[in-house]
Amino acid sequence: MSYLECVISVVVIMIFESQIRPLWRHYFQNTQGLIFVVDSNDRDRVVEARDELHRMLNEDELRDAVLLVFANKQDLPNAMNAAEITDKLGLHSLRQRHWYIQSTCATSGEGLYEGLDWLSSNIANKA
């Protein structure tokens, strides 16, 4: 997939697939940007999402990658907003990491292009 002159390789990693976690690092080589999608409506698993995000970000292969968080399912009435997701994921503690959070609704596409714009421009600026 390409977007604004950036070639994007997509690997979908589900956080509940912890038994294959040791294999994940093979997909991280040469990664310049990471998109982490959070179900903003799932308050029960946001701590699990935070732990998995920080575990991934501690991988050597991802040390220089910029981070885009998609706070998805913003169309649902009980969804956490971007500020709450930022707090729950501990994003402010990522002082050495360039990150951005974007509210999204995957079913309508709302917010997706804004997030991809941020990601592509920040990867290009690092090059």
Domain for residue 58, yes or no? yes
List average pLDDT for each run of 10 residues in the chain, which is 127 residues long.
57 59 75 91 94 91 92 97 98 95 97 93 80
Residue 72 labelled as part of a binding site: yes
pLDDT given at position 94? 95
Q: What's the CATH code of the domain at 90?
A: 3.40.50.300
Residue 74 labelled as part of a binding site: yes
End-to-end Cα separation, the chain, in angstroms: 19
21-28 and 46-57 are packed helices; what angle lies between their axes, rounded to 10 degrees? Answer: 50
Domain for residue 3, yes or no? no
Contact 50, 17 (CB under 8 A): no
pLDDT given at position 86? 98
Residue 122 labelled as part of a binding site: no
- Which residues constitute the domain of residue 74? 11-15+26-125
pLDDT given at position 97? 94
pTM above 0.85, yes or no: yes
